[in-house]
Amino acid sequence: MGILDRIKKLLPKRKPPEPTNNVPKEKENIRKSFGKYCNENHGTSDEKLCPKCTALLTTVMLKIQRCPYGISKPVCDNCETPCFGEDATNNFREIMKSSRKKMLLSHPLMTIKHKIASLGADYAKMQRDKNSTEKQKTQEEKAKNRIANAFKSPKNSSKSKKKRKKK
């Protein structure tokens, strides 16, 4: 038993991190973004929404509640599996993209936290994709080796058997 093993036994064991509920933060961020967008583009005031934006926001809020990722969901505007439908997803992403500057001026801390969460999700995706491509490459190499071994000429294999017998 080495010194490091003894030190590890003395240190307290770490608990695995508990998942945090990101849904309320995401909903608040979306509501405020919709308010800023609608005030700027549809002439409403005090973050009130026009009927079109209200309908889209209602759809988004219902779908967020049923998100397949659960409480540890990624940021919706970067999600790989959007659950709003194609048209609603495009409208949602447009609203979130165009309200970023207004949100940065009016809610800077919220916007920065949202961007950090988005970057974290992007990093996790990048790592996952990197790992999957590495696994895929190793599997392809193994398959190529198997195929190459299967198609070796019988002459070579018999010579190698004779050499083994002589030894």
Query: pLDDT (tens digit, 9 = 90+) per residue, 11-62?
Result: 877 777 677 787 888 899 999 999 999 998 888 888 789 999 999 999 999 9
Question: What pLDDT is attached to residue 163?
Answer: 52
Closest to 109 measured CA to CA, from 19, 45, 32, 17: 32
SS3 21: coil
Could you tell me the residue ranges of all domains in the chain?
20-124
Question: What pLDDT is attached to residue 166?
Answer: 54
Global pTM exceeds 0.75: no
Provide the sign of the torsion angle of the four alpha carbons 88, 90, 91, 96, taken in this order. positive
